[in-house]
Amino acid sequence: MSARTIAIIGGGPAGATTAEKLAQGWGLGSHGGSANRVVVFEEKLGWEKPCGGGLSHKVLRKYPFLAEAAGGAKLLHDAEFIAATGAAMRFRLRSPLAIYSRATLNHLLLRRAEDAGAEVVADRIVALRRGDSGWELDGRGRTYRADFVVLAGGARSRLRQVLTEDFAARDFMLTFGYYLPVPCELLRVRFYEKFEGYAWAFPRPDHVSVGIGAKMSEGTMPELRARLGMFMQKSGYPPDPERIYSHLLPSLSVESWGKLRLAGQGWALAGDAGGLVDPVTGEGIYYAMRSGELLAETLLEDLPQAYPERVRNDFGRSLALGARLGRMFYHGEFLGGGVTTRMIEFGTHSRKLLEVMQDLIEGSQSYLGLFARLQMGMARTLLETGLGRVRKALLSGILTGVSRQ
C-alpha cells in the first residue's frame, strides 16, 4: 500500500480521536517512523464550547483515561430532576459523571493525538476541492494536499456542502446559557411540558454551566432566555450576563437519519459534522469519539467504505430510534400529565423508575428498552400506589371499627 496523508479538519473529540487511533495504528510515534501522515487542522487548538461538558459512565467506561486525568474534570455524585410542575426528585448516581470544561477536554485529546504521532496545524481550512491526485485544502495563507479528508469541524461547517447536502433547520437544537462563577456540587435537569428540550446546571471544576437546549421548532431565543431565567431564579443561581453562550447543535430528524451520508469517495464525516448526537439527551462527546475510533479502524484496514455501516451497527440505529421516540418522551402524556412530569412524580415512589433514570443518565441501555421500562414502571407504580391507598383505607376502616367496639 502506498503512503497516504489523512487530513482531519477539526480538532475536537471526533477529529482528535480519529487522529490518535490512526497514528497509533500506523506507529507514527515510534522511532522507526512511517511514510503515512495524519494532519489535524484546528485553528483554535484548546477552546471552550457552549455545552454542559458532561461525560456519562458509558464514556468513562469506554475511555477510562478521561476519568483518570488528574485535575481535568469534576466528578458529580448527586443529581436532581425537576418536573414542569415543580416536583423534584434528588438521588445519588450509581456511577459518577465527569464534567469537563470543553477547553480542557479538547486540549487533552489533541495532546494525546500529538503524542501518538499526529501533526496538529494551527490553521483554518476555508476551502476544499478535489485535485488531480486527491484533495486540495486552502488554509489562511497556504494550500495543503491530502489523499483522504475527514471533516470533524461541527455540523455547521461550510465545508460540509462540498461533500454532501447541508442539514435542514429541523436538524438543529438551539442552546443558550451562562457560565457562573459559583460553587455547586449538584447536577440539575429541568423539564417542561410540551417542550422538546430541557434546562441544565452542570458544575465544572471552577464554575457552573447553566443553560437550556431545545429543538429549533420549540421556540425563539427570547423564549429560551425566559425559561432559563425562571429556572435560574428558582434554583438560586445569579445571572451573569457577561458570560453568555449560544450555539446550534445537531439533533437529526427521523427523515434525516434515513438519508444520512457519512462517507464517499475519499472523504468521511465524524462527530457533529455527521449529525452523530443523541436526539433525546443532546449528548455528543461519546458518539464523536466512538465515530472517530470506528473511522480510524476502517482507514487502517483500507476499508473506508465500511465506516457508515459500522456506525449504524454500533450506535446509529439506536440514535435513529431515539429521534422517533424523543417526541413521545417530551410531548407525550400519561394520565393527563407529561411523560417527564409523571416520570419524576412516580420516580420518588419507585425503585424501578429510579433505575430507568440512572440508565438514561449513564446511557447504558438502548432507547427501545428504556422507553418500554419507563412505561411499565409508571404503570406499575400507579397500580402499587393505588393498591396502597386501598389497603390504607381498608386498614383505617378496620381500626375505626375496632375502636368503636
Is 186 within 8 Å of 99 (Cβ atoms)?
no
Q: Hey, what's the cell of 241? A: 450576563
Residues 6+ away with beta carbon under 8 Å from 123: 41, 43, 139, 140, 141, 142
Q: What is the pLDDT of residues 218-233, one digit of tens each?
A: 888 899 999 999 999 9
Selected residue with higher pLDDT from 1 and 16? 16
pLDDT of residue 388: 47
Q: What is the pLDDT of residues 112-140, one digit of tens each?
A: 999 999 999 999 999 999 988 899 999 99
Q: Which CA distances in Å does 44 have to 47, 110, 150, 161?
A: 6, 11, 18, 22
8, 222, 223: which is closest to 116 by C-alpha? 8
For the chain, the structural domain boundaries read 1-49+101-167+255-323, 333-391
Is 28 within 8 Å of 119 (Cβ atoms)?
no
Which superfamily does 1-49+101-167+255-323 belong to?
FAD/NAD(P)-binding domain (3.50.50.60)
Residue 204 binned pLDDT confidence (cut-offs 50, 70, 90): confident
Residue 393 binned pLDDT confidence (cut-offs 50, 70, 90): very low
Can you name the residues that pair with 277 across neighbouring β-strands? none
Can you tell me the distance from the alpha carbon of 371 to that of 356, in angstroms, rounded to the nearest whole number? 9
Predicted structure pTM score: 0.88
